[in-house]
Amino acid sequence: MTNVRTSGSVAADCVPASFDGLGLHPDDLPHGLVVADDSGRVTCFNAAAARITAVRPGEALGRPLESALPLEDLDGRRWWALTDPYGGLATRIGQPERNLLLPGGRQVLVSARYIRPRPGGPVVRLVIQLRGTEARRRTERSHAELIATVAHELRSPLTSVKGFTATLLAKWERFTDDQKRLMLETVDADADRVTRLIAELLDISRIDSGRLELRRQPVDMAAAVRRNVEARTRAGQPADRFEIKVADSLPPLWADPDKIDQVLGNLLENAVRHGEGRVTIEVSPALIKARTEGTAVTVSDEGPGIPEESMGRVFTRFWRGSKRGGTGLGLYIVKGIVEAHGGTITVGRAVKGGAQFRFTLPVGAPAFLSQG
């Protein structure tokens, strides 16, 4: 009887040899596990099952399934009578996961395997997995929140586009050319904002579903930094706002050049928009893991920086720290792109007090080159 724990949730015959061989116990499983024998009596009711159902293992063990686990579907039909695992179709090997109810309205996600030693033979054991519904409800809530935020973000620029165009159409004659130009410029900027937001949302959906495609080729990181800084100065930033420091020798880097531009563009824009003073960009070799070399890029500014307590949140979707913030998607996308390259990104405090973002990328050379 060495397999029986003091919790009494598991009968001795519930612990198959393979479980035992692994040093595993049914109570170690994260999900609820209920096993019934060939007559439908419960032989195992682990700790998670007890937590999810609020039924004490002592009450369940040895009892028929229908009374130990009186599940009903959402229409109130008795689940065991409906599915009839022991008497039903002999080809059936289980039940996919369903949302079922216990007395009192407690929701449980239930799936089952019918163990038949030979195909079409009688069921000798019924293995049932139970999961609580909190995790699923949490994802549903976060989806609902995402939709609400996206709708809100799209509505404000569209309200302005609609407002200005309607006003112009209704009262065209009454405005001077300058007033019309001002309104059209606002409409133009807001339409750009919507387009950009949609592009960001598409990036996010690719990142979240692991579909971000990388077209890797050799990338000269120092040149990419210079190009991005030039783009900023051409757009009106004074040239002395930026300082570029590049180490003498850098390891090779295979990456997606467009995505690297997106990362640098976002970090530079943040440093200019949210930071102050001089923005320093350093490119240097880095040790990613013991003996794995790569490239590190650090972007520091001299602004207020990011408060210690918010550092954990800057890379989350829609988080923005100040009123000057945009949609709060920039850093989430940056992190997604860096990680898709196998790299990492961190945030910290710069020497002069501003924010400092540092990302590292492994060499990333295609396999046929690194084998040679």
Q: Which stretch binds Mg ion (CB under 5 A): 35-43, 57-65, 207-215, 330-338?
A: 330-338
> Which residue in the set 9, 270, 280, 360 belongs to the binding site for ligand ATP (CB under 6 A)?
270
Near Mg ion in 250-279, by CB under 5 A:
270
Nearer of residues 94 and 325 to ligand ATP, judged by Cβ: 325
Close Cβ partners of 145 (under 8 Å, ≥ 6 residues apart) = none
Secondary structure element (H or E) that encloses residue 282, with its range: strand 279-289
Give per-residue burial for 178-191: e unless 16+ CB within 10 Å, then b.
Answer: eeeeebeeebeebe
CA distance 90 to 183: 72
Nearer of residues 46 and 300 to ligand ATP, judged by Cβ: 300
298 binds ligand ATP (CB under 6 A): no
* CA dist 150 → 157, 188, 237 (Å): 12, 20, 31
Give min distance, CB of 300 to ligand ATP, in A. Answer: 8
User: Collapsing DSSP states into helix, strand and coil, what is residue 292?
Assistant: strand
| DSSP category for residue 78 | B
Give min distance, CB of 330 to Mg ion, in A. Answer: 3
Nearer of residues 66 and 192 to ligand ATP, judged by Cβ: 192
Secondary structure element (H or E) that encloses residue 193, with its range: helix 177-208
> Which residue in the set 32, 157, 303, 364 belongs to the binding site for ligand ATP (CB under 6 A)?
303
32 binds ligand ATP (CB under 6 A): no
Question: What is 224-255 written as a DSSP string?
Answer: HHHHHHHHHHHTT--GGGEEEEE-S-----EE
Close Cβ partners of 96 (under 8 Å, ≥ 6 residues apart) = 111
209 binds ligand ATP (CB under 6 A): no
330 binds Mg ion (CB under 5 A): yes
HSE at residue 21, side-chain half, CA atoms within 13 A, is 3
- 94 Rama class: left (phi>0) / alpha (psi -120 to 50) / beta: left
Q: Which stretch binds Mg ion (CB under 5 A): 56-64, 71-79, 170-178, 324-332?
A: 324-332
Number of chain residues interacting with ligand ATP (CB under 6 A): 23
Q: Which stretch binds ligand ATP (CB under 6 A): 23-31, 37-45, 153-161, 266-274?
A: 266-274
Residue type, 10: V
Near ligand ATP in 344-363, by CB under 6 A:
355
**Edge to edge, what strands does the sheet with 125-131 contain?**
42-45, 32-36, 125-131, 106-115, 94-102
Q: Which candidate, 294, 339, 332, places its Cα nearest to that of 316?
A: 332
Give min distance, CB of 273 to Mg ion, in A. Answer: 7
What are the beta bridge partners of residue 204? none
132 binds ligand ATP (CB under 6 A): no
Give min distance, CB of 349 to ligand ATP, in A. Answer: 10
325 binds, among Mg ion, ligand ATP, none (CB under 5 to 8 A by kind): ligand ATP
**Contact yes or no for 264/336 (Cβ under 8 A):** no
275 binds ligand ATP (CB under 6 A): yes
* Per-residue binder mask for ligand ATP (CB under 6 A), 310-349, x = binder: ----x----xxxx--xxxxxxxx-----------------
Give min distance, CB of 304 to ligand ATP, in A. Answer: 6
Query: What does the binding site for ligand ATP look like in residue numbers (CB under 6 A)?
Result: 266, 270-271, 274-275, 301, 303, 305-306, 314, 319-322, 325-332, 355
Query: What does the binding site for Mg ion look like in residue numbers (CB under 5 A)?
Result: 270, 330
